[in-house]
Structure 1
Amino acid sequence: MQRLRTPAWIVRHVAMVVLVVAFLGLGWWQVTRAAGGNALSFGYAIEWPVFAGFVVFVWWREVRQALRAERGEPAGPAPSAAAGDEPVAETPAVRRPVRVARTPAAPADGADDGELAAYNRYLSWLNANPGARPGDYPG
């Protein structure tokens, strides 16, 4: 429990209380506006308490995670040994991107399309001249 009394956690606790009180206060304000005849305020009167509940949920989840880390428990669910005695391979946290060599595809049936060839020349010119505008194309 000492971990939850650090200055960073005290700021989190205070922020949670301030946000919940503010959101509930804004919800009450919307209820009074809705009672005064503003129909749009009925939606906001429901929305602000939901925001307050979300703040409490996130705060509670962070507290539980900090207490688990203090006890040395794993953060996620433990793998079950009921599947067998085989070791379970974990996926790496960071995966390397797959590099694929791009080669132009051959035209279908060996047919050369004149418009497609002209468009490809235009695209290759745009790629070779990154600062140029499409209207600068000489072809």
Structure 2
Amino acid sequence: MRWLWTPAWIARHVAMVVLVVGFLGLGWWQISRATAGNNLSWGYAVEWPIFAGFVVYVWWREVRLARRNAEAAAEAPADPAEAPAVEPAPGTTTGSRPAVRRPVRVARVPVDATRGDDDLAAYNDYLSWLNANPGARPGDYPG
């Protein structure tokens, strides 16, 4: 439990408390506005406590994750040679045959450099004309 009292975790605890108190305070403020006649504030009065609950949930989840990581680190052997050997997972079977993983091969068709694309050439000419004439409008293109 020492890991809960490091400077980073103390900052997280303080941030959680400040956010929850702030969100609940904003919810109370919206309730007071709603009772004064602002009907839109009823929706906000419901939203702020939900935001506070979300902050508590994220904080609780992070504490659980850190505790789980600390327990795993405490149980891990100090010397990697003492670690138990991990057996590979058995192959997945499909029906009665084992599934085989094969590399994906992509066939690449070479591009014929001698064959030109007229539309691409015209578009490139248009772009070079626009670059050479920065103040021109696209409708001024002579081609």
Which interval holds the TM-score relative to the shorter structure? 0.5 to 0.7
Superposed CA RMSD in Å reads 3.6
Conserved 8 A contact 1:24-1:48: yes
Offset, 1:106: 6.7
- Kindly tell me: are residues 133 and 46 of structure 1, through their superposed partners in 2, closer, same or farther at Cα, counting changes over 3 Å? farther
Equivalent residues, number: 106
| Deviation (angstroms), 1:40 | 1.2
Give 1 or 2 for the bigger CA radius of gyration: 2
Residue 26 of structure 1 aligns with which residue? Answer: 26
Q: Confirm or deny that 1:135 pairs with 2:136.
A: yes
Residues 79-94 of structure 1: pairs in structure 2 closer than 5 A: 85-86=90-91
How far apart, in 2, do the equivalents of 1:12 and 1:43 lie? 29
- Give yes or no for contact 1:23–1:52 (8 Å, CA) kept in 2: yes
Aligned equivalents of 1:49, 1:132: Cα separation in 2: 59
Partners of 1:43 and 1:135 in 2: CA distance = 53
Please list every run of 5 or more consecutive structure 1 residues that lacks an aligned counterpart in the other structure: 74-83, 88-99
2:83 maps to what in 1? none
Q: Which has the higher contact order (CA 8 A, sep 6+)?
A: 1
With normalisation by structure 2, the TM-score equals 0.59
Matches within 5 A, 1:68-87: 68-72=68-72, 85-86=90-91
* Distance in 2 (alpha carbons) for counterparts of 1:16 and 1:60: 10
TM-score by length of 1: 0.61
The percent identity for this pair of structures is 58
Per-residue CA distance 1:15-67 (angstroms, 9 max, x = gap) = 10111011001001101110110011111101111110111111111111111
Deviation readout 1:52-85 (Å, 9 max, x if unpaired): 0111111111111111110127xxxxxxxxxx72
Separation in 1, partners of 2:35, 2:5: 42
- 2:38 and 2:4 map into 1 onto residues whose CA distance is 43
After superposition, the Cα gap between the structure-2 partners of 1:122 and 1:58, relative to the gap in structure 1 and judged at 3 Å, is same
Moved over 6 A (4+): 103-106
Partner of 2:122: 118
